[in-house]
Amino acid sequence: MISTVEKKYDDMLSSSFIYKVTFSDNKLMFVPHNEENRHYQEILEWVANGGTIVDNGE
Amino acid sequence: MPLNTIPNKGLTSRGYSSDRIVTPLIINGDMSVAQRSTSASSVSSSGYHALDRFRFGFTDTDQLVATISQDTDVPSGQGFSNSMKFLVTTVETALDADDALQIQYRMEGQNLQNLKYGTSNAESLTLSFWVKSSVTGTYALTFKNSDDGGTKLNVNTYSISSANTWEKKIITISGDTATNIDNTNENKLEVLWALSAGSNYKGTSSSGWTSYSASKLFNGQTADIATTSSANFYLTGVQLEVGEFDSTTIPSFPFESFESNLRKCQRYYENLTANGSLNIGHAYNTTQARTYFQYRTKKRAAPTITLATAGNGDGEISFLTKGGAYVGTIGTHTALNVAIDRFNISVNSGTYSSTGWVAGDAVFFYVNGNNYVVWEADAEL
């Protein structure tokens, strides 16, 4: 189960970012913005259920 | 010509009458590849835990804990070396209506267009597998087509009549002439082996391909692995053939070399195990560095990356100085620019240290110790 999602930008290529996802068992994953990725689909579901992605900007 | 068919005279020994080699629709059906782990203990949630390509679904279970492992218990004289074993270590105290436990095998739609679903020429499929369990009874075996226009099910059952005895099961289903399989790289056809099913997933019978309803999903399931103390369930020799076959006509199992099997599995998952210095990166200022990895096999889709913990303990990763020393602050590591063929690992130590980097330095990317998993790339369905 997802606990937190943070959008992380690339310092060298600011248009590029990834989602840093922490799960309830403290497992950490880096998930690309790609609808074919099943973990990204989990993020979308988590957001639909009220989760908020932390975005501290580039 | 079907996509999984290659003309090749002289190589028809699997039992097909025509001159063709058929690429297996099921990858790792002999349970030979277990990249993540050969034994995953304390499993209580859905996911890919041990054997490649075979997923376990824990639906709303509360207490259930299991060990999933690659085992050497196999049916005698069939040529298999491994099976997948599911062992209950903490029992589910009661099977609630919404509880279910299942093995899931998911296939990409683009690999199934030769089935011609949604046309009058839709092909039948025959699933064959070897199974053994301590729990006898009736088990549901369901095919699920996740078409964008609506999910379809084809629900079947089989019996395990003798406890702790290998049995070969063969199930044939007709092709679905009404609904196609979407031509994508996503999960479009799934085979589900129910191990336990609460009442929400039973009660409505169906025949052939039918529109999805939860109460149809595992109709007929009576066996209950989840609530049975120390119950086990073994599976191997999973093959899916195009056409209708029975126990006398089913083609022999499509054994492949381990290397071929592994490479196919790596389209969906791979990891890197390393010792010590494993790559060269560069520092682009005094606090930041990065390196680049290319997968052995292109992925189905941009994968999820998991990294080892950053630090200087056993199995931990870090960027070293160009002289091979730890920097003052090891920093936070991030996977970036993840694509189907490569990704970066970037570090931001946040704090300049006199034992750190100078912009332009070549730096070591390092794991402390031997045979630790440095990263995993997961593009599973």
Domains and CATH numbers, chain B: 6-265 (2.60.120.260), 268-378 (no CATH)
Q: Note whether B378 contacts A27, CB cutoff 8 Å.
A: no
CA distance B153 to B156: 10
Amino acid identity of B374?
V
Q: Which residues of B41-70 are buried (b: 16+ CB within 10 A; e: fewer)?
A: eebeeeebbbbbbbbbbbbebeebbbbbbb
Distance (Å) from the alpha carbon of A36 to chain B's nearest alpha carbon: 6
Place of tokens 């020799």: B237
pLDDT, average across residues A2-18: 89
Residue A19 pLDDT level (bands cut at 50, 70, 90)? very high
> Does A30 touch chain B if contact means CB atoms closer than 8 Å?
yes
With 70 as the cut, is the pLDDT of residue B2 above it?
A: no
Cα of B168 to nearest chain A Cα, Å:
33
Is any Cβ of chain B less than 8 angstroms from the Cβ of A48? no
Chain B residue closest to A29 (CA)?
Answer: B306
Q: Which residues of B touch A10 (CB under 8 A)?
A: 336-337, 344, 346
pLDDT value of position B22: 62
A1 or B18, higher pLDDT: A1
CB–CB of B166/B131 below 8 Å?
yes
Number of A to B CB contacts under 8 A, please give it.
56
Subunit contact B336:A10, Cβ cutoff 8 A: yes
Contact B306 A28 (CB under 8 A): yes
Query: What is the reported pLDDT for B352?
Result: 74
Residues of B within 8 A of A16 (CB-CB) are 336-337
Closest to B314 measured CA to CA, from B367, B249, B251: B367
d(CA B115, CA B125): 8
Q: Give the containing element (helix H, strand E) for A15.
A: none
**pLDDT > 80? residue B353:** no
Q: How far is A5 from chain B (nearest CA, A)?
A: 14
Q: For chain A, give the mean pLDDT.
A: 93
- Whether pLDDT at B61 is above 80: yes
B25 φ/ψ angles, rounded to the nearest 5 degrees:
-75, -30
Contact residues for B121 (Cβ-Cβ < 8 A; gap 6+): B175
ipTM: 0.96
Q: Please say if the pLDDT value at position B316 is more than 80.
A: yes
Contact residues on chain B for A12, CB-CB shorter than 8 A:
284, 290
- At A48 the three-state DSSP class reads helix
B188-198 pLDDT, tens per residue?
999 999 999 99
**What is d(CA B15, CA B252) in angstroms, rounded to the nearest whole number?**
7
3-state SS, one letter per residue, for chain B = CCCCEEECCCCCCCCCCCCEEECCCCCCCCCCCCCCCCEEEEECCCECCCCCCEEEEEECCCCCEEEEEEECCCCCCCCCCCEEEEEEEECCCCCCCCCEEEEEEEEEHHHCHHHCCCCCCCCCEEEEEEEEECCCEEEEEEEEEEECCEEEEEEEEEEECCCCCCEEEEEEECCCCCCCCCCCCCEEEEEEEEEEECHHHCCCCCCCEEECCHHHCCCCCCCCCCCCCCCEEEEEEEEEEECCCCCCCCCCCCCCCHHHHHHHHCCCEEEEEEEEEEEEEEECCCCEEEEEEECCCCCCCCCEEEECCECCCCCCEEEECCCCCECCCCCEEEEECCCCCEEEEEEECCCCCCCCCCCCCEEEEEEEEEEEEEEEEECCC
Specify the pLDDT at position B10: 38
Could A36 and B301 be called an inter-chain contact, meaning their C-beta atoms sit closer than 8 Å?
A: yes
Q: Are A28 and A20 in contact (CB under 8 A)?
A: yes
Rounded mean pLDDT, B53-69? 98
User: Cα separation of B243 and B175, whole Å?
Assistant: 9
Residue from A31, A41, A43 whose CB has the most chain B CBs within 10 Å, to mutate: A31
pLDDT higher than threshold 70 for residue B8: no
What is the length of chain B?
381
The mean pLDDT value for B207-213 works out to 97
Q: Which residue in A11, A30, A36 is closest to B288 by CB distance?
A: A11
- What residues of B are in contact with residue A28 (Cβ under 8 Å)? 306-307
For residue B1, the model assigns a pLDDT of 42
pLDDT in tens, B70-114: 999 999 999 999 999 999 999 999 999 999 999 999 999 999 999
> Per-residue confidence at B9, pLDDT binned at 50, 70, 90?
very low
Inform me whether the pLDDT recorded for B18 exceeds 60: no
CA–CA dist B157, B173 (Å, integer): 12
Which structure tokens are listed for B32?
Answer: 């030979």
Rounded-to-integer distance, Cα B41 and Cα B24, Å:
30
Looking at the predicted structure, is the pLDDT value of residue B36 above 70? Answer: yes
Instruction: Tell me: pLDDT of B256 over 80.
Output: yes
What per-residue confidence (pLDDT) applies to B21?
Answer: 54
Distance (Å, rounded) from C-alpha B330 to C-alpha B357?
11
Residue B192 and residue B141 in contact, taking contact as beta carbons nearer than 8 Å: yes
Which pLDDT tens digit goes with each residue over B168-178? 999 999 999 99
Q: How confident is the model at residue B372 (pLDDT cuts 50, 70, 90)?
A: very high
**Per-residue confidence (pLDDT) for residue B94, from 0 to 100:** 97
- The proportion of chain B whose per-residue pLDDT surpasses 70, expressed as a percent, equals 94
- Chain A CB contacts of B339 under 8 Å are 32
Q: What is the pLDDT of residue B356?
A: 81
Q: Report chain A's C-alpha Rg in angstroms.
A: 11
Q: Which residues of B touch A (CB under 8 A)?
A: 185-186, 284, 288, 290, 300-307, 334-339, 344, 346, 348, 378-381
Residue B7 pLDDT: 43
pLDDT (average), residues B147-176: 96
Contact B284 A12 (CB under 8 A): yes
Q: How far is CA B148 from CA A37, B57, B126, B173, B182, in A?
A: 17, 22, 24, 21, 7
CB within 8 Å: A30 and B346: no
Confidence of residue B19 (pLDDT cuts 50, 70, 90): very low
Determine contact: A3 vs chain B, CB below 8 A. Answer: no
Residue B273 to residue B367: CA distance in whole angstroms? 9
* Interchain contact A7–B (C-beta under 8 A): no
Least confident of B19-28, B116-125, B221-230, B259-268: B19-28
pLDDT on residue B240:
97
Q: How far is A7 from chain B (nearest CA, A)?
A: 11
pLDDT band at B15 (very low <50, low <70, confident <90, very high): low
pLDDT band at B17 (very low <50, low <70, confident <90, very high): low
- Least confident range of A1-5, B81-85, B151-155, B282-286: B282-286
Query: Looking at the complex, does the CB of residue A2 fall below 8 Å from at least one CB of chain B?
Result: no
